[in-house]
Amino acid sequence: MNSEIRSSEFNNNEVVYPSNPAFGNNVTAHDPSIFKDDDGTYYTFGSHFAVTKSINLMQWTQVANDGGANVLYARNWRTVLADAFAHVGERPGSTWAPCVHKFGEKYYMYYSLSTFGSSVSYIGRVEGDSVLGPYDNSVEIVKSDGRGGPNAIDPELFFSKDGRLWLVYGSFFAGIYIKELYASGENIGLPKEDGYGKLLWQGGDQGPEGPFIFYNPNTDYFYLMASHGSLSTNYNMRVARSKNPDGPYTDPRGMSAENYRNSGLKLAGNYQFQGYPIGYAALGHNSILREDGKYYVVYHSRYRSGASGVTGYHNQFVNQMFFNKNGWPVLAPNRYAGEELQVITMAQASKDYDVLIHTGGDSEGFATSVTYKFSQNGDLLDAEEDAIGTWSINEDYYVTIKIGLNTYEGVIIPQWNNDLQRAGLSITAYSRNGLSLWANEHFR
């Protein structure tokens, strides 16, 4: 499966590494949804009214902190969302997981209102004349009553390749649903029919939630991403794919997301590379930006505390996403720093790497790494120089790694390793049994 980024742009034999992007201070947005405005500025909108912005996806500025409703609403937000409160009750202290879209000259923010552990919830829409509002005129999109149906939170919108507009939403309970909206006219962005829509991903006590669907014209697949686990401890990002926007979605094992709640390829969960100063936890509730043939995953993450604890608020990060030869997405191990796919030879890639295989399922444990030597002859050697597998590069940057019974397919790319403040080669790949592998060049 060809990538949209062609390595022919790199017509010399030197590896082009990204330089230090000087990320600056972290920004926070719980459940970040990305939107690019007409002037080229990127915004993310998170739960509890958080807003961030950037001009390059690397350095971000906090526009509004949690609780900053006055940035988005010119008058009392509870008054603006009176229709939602009439259904949910007065307990909610903020909106959850909003997303912003522009139709014509109007900006529309889709929001959800609920309380933790409840499925008496409401997805509504407000409108404004600029990306930061002020937003007003709330209307209902879909609501749930807590009587066995889906949970009406976590809205995201997307257009399918035939121009139809869809809402995907849901959290735990009855799972992830999809519902068609008007794609044009005076009712653009409003539901075409009453009801919840169609089930895409079965729900349960470990998720999923935070759905996002995007289309890759190169693979001709729609990809449904969602998060499993607890946002406090073991959140993890998963993906399934389909030829149709409304499913059925399956994982690399052929398991249907509609029929199996624990399906989906797990892209990333709790992890810490051996010897690194920081461990990352509860990665999830992501959105996707596709731009110039590249894919960026915007997600929140917390930090490891001690052996198995989690601390800190939901920091927002951006990692680039690629597609392997089989058309499955693989997530870069390190934050986006301007890196580009390019021709990498076996000789250039023959190094020691810290290799990390993410845990399966919804484990609260932290995946860690071991150091392997990637020999130029294709052998994979452990610390005792014993061969434990093989590796190869083909078609410029596609990597195949075989360890035991598992075969991992992915890509190799130069990245900036911000934890070590060094640039080096990185690998991201997955196996058909649903395990994701990350590797960073080892520095002694």
The answer to whether residues 400 and 327 belong to one domain is: no
Distance CA 295, CA 99 (A): 18
The answer to whether residues 191 and 313 belong to one domain is: yes
The answer to whether residues 326 and 353 belong to one domain is: no
Distance CA 271, CA 358 (A): 7
Query: 39, exposed or middle or buried, with CB in 10 Å at 0-12, 13-18, 19+?
Result: exposed
The answer to whether residues 316 and 376 belong to one domain is: no
Number of domains in the chain: 2
Domain that holds residue 35: 26-335
What DSSP character marks residue 130?
Answer: S
Other Cβ atoms closer than 10 A to 261: 18
Q: How far is CA 299 from CA 152, 207, 212, 286, 336, in A?
A: 21, 17, 11, 4, 12
**CATH number of the domain residue 50 falls in:** 2.115.10.20
Task: Examine the fold and report which residue of 335, 357, 378 is the final residue of a domain before the chain moves on.
Answer: 335
Distance CA 386, CA 394 (A): 24
Which residue from 153, 145, 149 is spatially nearest to 110, judged by alpha carbons? 153
Other Cβ atoms closer than 10 A to 171: 28
Question: What would the pLDDT profile of 86-107 be if each residue is shown by its tens digit?
Answer: 999 999 999 999 999 999 999 9
The answer to whether residues 259 and 292 belong to one domain is: yes
Residue 366 has pLDDT above 80, yes or no: yes
In a domain, 268, yes or no: yes
The answer to whether residues 121 and 37 belong to one domain is: yes
| Pairing assessment for the beta strands 379-381 and 369-374 based on DSSP bridges | antiparallel
The answer to whether residues 307 and 368 belong to one domain is: no
- What proportion of the chain, given as a percentage, has pLDDT over 70? 97
Q: In 337-355, which positions are buried (b, 16+ CB within 10 angstroms) versus exposed (e)?
A: bebebbbbeeebbebbbbb
Residue 6 has pLDDT above 70, yes or no: no
The answer to whether residues 139 and 70 belong to one domain is: yes
Average pLDDT (277-296) is 97
Task: Examine the fold and report which residue of 282, 312, 335 is the final residue of a domain before the chain moves on.
Answer: 335
Which pLDDT does position 5 carry in this prediction? 41
Question: What would the pLDDT profile of 290-318 be if each residue is shown by its tens digit?
Answer: 999 999 999 999 999 988 888 888 999 99
The answer to whether residues 269 and 296 belong to one domain is: yes
Which pLDDT does position 8 carry in this prediction? 39
Q: In the chain, what is the straight-line distance between the N-terminal and C-terminal CA atoms, in Å?
A: 35
**CATH number of the domain residue 427 falls in:** 2.40.128.10
In a domain, 8, yes or no: no
The helix/strand count (H/E) of the chain reads as 3, 28
The answer to whether residues 231 and 321 belong to one domain is: yes
Distance CA 227, CA 49 (A): 21
Task: Examine the fold and report which residue of 335, 360, 387 is the final residue of a domain before the chain moves on.
Answer: 335
Average pLDDT (226-255) is 94
Which pLDDT does position 12 carry in this prediction? 58
The answer to whether the CB of 153 falls within 8 A of the CB of 96 is: yes
Provide the token pair at 240.
Answer: 């399934």
The answer to whether residues 89 and 230 belong to one domain is: yes
In a domain, 7, yes or no: no
Q: How far is CA 206 from CA 120, 155, 171, 261, in A?
A: 19, 19, 10, 8
Question: What would the pLDDT profile of 8-64 be if each residue is shown by its tens digit?
Answer: 344 458 999 999 999 999 999 999 999 999 999 999 999 999 999 999 999 999 999
Which pLDDT does position 11 carry in this prediction? 47
Task: Give the mean pLDDT of the chain.
Answer: 95
Question: What would the pLDDT profile of 174-221 be if each residue is shown by its tens digit?
Answer: 999 999 999 999 999 999 999 999 999 998 888 899 999 999 999 999
Partners of 221 in the β-ladder: 216
Which residue from 90, 71, 72, 86 is spatially nearest to 136, judged by alpha carbons? 72
In a domain, 19, yes or no: no
- What proportion of the chain, given as a percentage, has pLDDT over 90? 88
The answer to whether residues 308 and 178 belong to one domain is: yes
Which pLDDT does position 384 carry in this prediction? 94
Distance CA 296, CA 390 (A): 30
In a domain, 390, yes or no: yes
In a domain, 229, yes or no: yes
Provide the token pair at 405.
Answer: 């019974």
**Contacts of residue 378, Cβ cutoff 8 Å, sequence gap at least 6:** 346, 390, 391, 392
Distance CA 309, CA 304 (A): 6
The catalytic site residues sit at 31, 209
Provide the token pair at 278.
Answer: 């920081």
**Residue given tokens 């990809």 in the structure block:** 223
Which residue from 227, 266, 241 is spatially nearest to 328, judged by alpha carbons? 241
Which pLDDT does position 307 carry in this prediction? 87
Question: What would the pLDDT profile of 120-159 be if each residue is shown by its tens digit?
Answer: 999 999 999 999 999 999 999 999 998 889 999 999 999 9
In a domain, 166, yes or no: yes
Distance CA 249, CA 326 (A): 16
**Residue given tokens 């729609």 in the structure block:** 222
Distance CA 74, CA 80 (A): 9
Distance CA 301, CA 269 (A): 10
In a domain, 12, yes or no: no
Of residues 261 and 97, more confidence is placed in 97
